[in-house]
Amino acid sequence: MINLALLYFIIALVAGLLGFGLLADSAATIAKIVFGSSLLLLLVNLVVDRRTAGPRTLRPHSGRGRA
Kindly indicate the confidence band of residue 24, based on its pLDDT and cuts at 50, 70 and 90.
confident
| Whether the model pTM is above 0.85 | no
Give alpha helix (H) positions in 1-67: 2-18, 21-53
- Residue 60: pLDDT over 70: no
pLDDT score of 53: 67
- Residue 1: pLDDT over 80: no
Distance CA 63, CA 67 (A): 10
- Residue 50: pLDDT over 80: no
Distance CA 8, CA 31 (A): 5
Contact (CB, 8 A) for 41 and 11: no
